[in-house]
Amino acid sequence: MSQNSADLPWKVRLFTSLFSFTFKVMIRRSDGSLNRLLLNFLDYKTSPSPDKPIDGVTTTDFTIDEDRSLWFRLYNPVFRTSTTDNEVKIPVIFYFHGSGFVCLAANSKLFDDLCYRLARLLPAVIISVNYRLAPEHRYPCQYEDGFDVIKFIDKSYLEVLPNHANLKHSFVAGDSAGGNLAHHMALKACKSELSNIKLTGVIAIQPFFGGEERTGSEIKLSRDPFVPMDTTDWMWRSFLPEGSNRDHQASNVFGPNSVDISELKFPAVLVIIGGLDPLQDWQKRYYEGLKKSGKEVYLVEYVNAFHSFHLFPCVPEFSLFIKEVKDFMQKQMSR
């Protein structure tokens, strides 16, 4: 990213510099632990707005399990004026936020702002899942939390979703670690019986995958401000079961310990990568693994996009990203 940082808006350059310094120096301790108290202090959280739409979208929080702080935020576009009988249905997206399984939340301002934009621009009803974090809660807690939300919606959708939400056009989506989660949610859905949800597609935004091998992009971009190699290694150590390595099936999904998905009815996948993202080689392998397994998959690459570019609407790739996601969704829903 540094080689093209001068081309970025100054706010983005400032944010990435501050994020990199704060995370490495103040939050991630030298012994490998996490300063959760400081992280929570610095992570600005937003409140829902159920009665007053913000940019045409209302938000409501629903708690599923207080003991494990499992909840989701529902983003509902309300700019439609259709009558009840002829109301146009819109898709539902189960969204999983990124940050390496270790930090931030569904109500962190960065992800709250993104979900507002997705709900308004696609448009779609967004269900943003707040899952437990590592290292306090390791694999498979995050996957269990995510799928428990999907099962809750499948069973109780009439109690929480607006009338214009179409569960027959449901998608799982996420960025970075959330993209990893989206893949594994689709995998779980393939092996489960959902009564009302029909999973139509997976939207993997710069998904966080890895392995023991060092790829060319990891080495070349090892000092990236968002996902440098030493930080991603630490994230995997914090998330994966103790004693396992990065070739675990959760991280290296087409590696030596992976699950064969060739016989599963896996939904179509959109993989979005950036040319300045250290994780791009693993993301390309994910795309290639899906193709070899006989799955419908599309790859979109933005040459000058850094990791987490989609969180910044001021970068030129953002509008292109929205169009690609919208086109993918419409293609899957038209079938």
Q: Is the pLDDT of residue 105 over 60?
A: yes
Please indicate whether residue 26 or residue 55 has the higher confidence score (pLDDT).
55
Query: How confident is the model over 114-121, as a mean pLDDT?
Result: 98
Count the Cβ atoms, other than its own, within 10 Å of residue 82: 11
**What was the pLDDT predicted at 6?**
44
Query: How confident is the model over 290-314, as a mean pLDDT?
Result: 97
Query: How confident is the model over 112-135, as a mean pLDDT?
Result: 98
Residue of 169, 184, 248, 307 marked catalytic = 307
Q: Is the pLDDT of residue 11 over 90?
A: no
Percent share of the chain, pLDDT over 90: 86
Q: Label residue 32 by pLDDT band (50, 70, 90).
A: confident
* 225-230-235-237 Cα dihedral, nearest 10 degrees: 180
Active site residue 244: no
Q: Is the pLDDT of residue 81 over 60?
A: no
- The pair of structure tokens assigned to 262 is 């060739």
Q: Which amino acid is at 129?
A: V
Residue of 128, 170, 176, 238 marked catalytic = 176
DSSP string, 86-111: TPPPEEEEEEE--STTTS--TTBHHH
Summarised one tens digit per residue, pLDDT across range 152-208 is 999 999 999 999 999 999 999 999 999 999 999 999 999 999 999 999 999 999 999
3-state SS record for 6-33: HHCCHHHHHHHHHHHHHHHHHHECCCCC
Residue of 108, 277, 308, 310 marked catalytic = 277
Active site residue 293: no
- The pair of structure tokens assigned to 96 is 């999983």
Active site residue 175: no
Q: Is the pLDDT of residue 141 over 90?
A: yes
Query: Lowest-pLDDT range, 152-161, 222-231, 285-294, 312-321?
Result: 222-231
**What was the pLDDT predicted at 85?**
52
Count the Cβ atoms, other than its own, within 10 Å of residue 31: 5
Rounded to whole angstroms, the Cα distance separating 203 from 270 reads 5
pTM of the model: 0.95
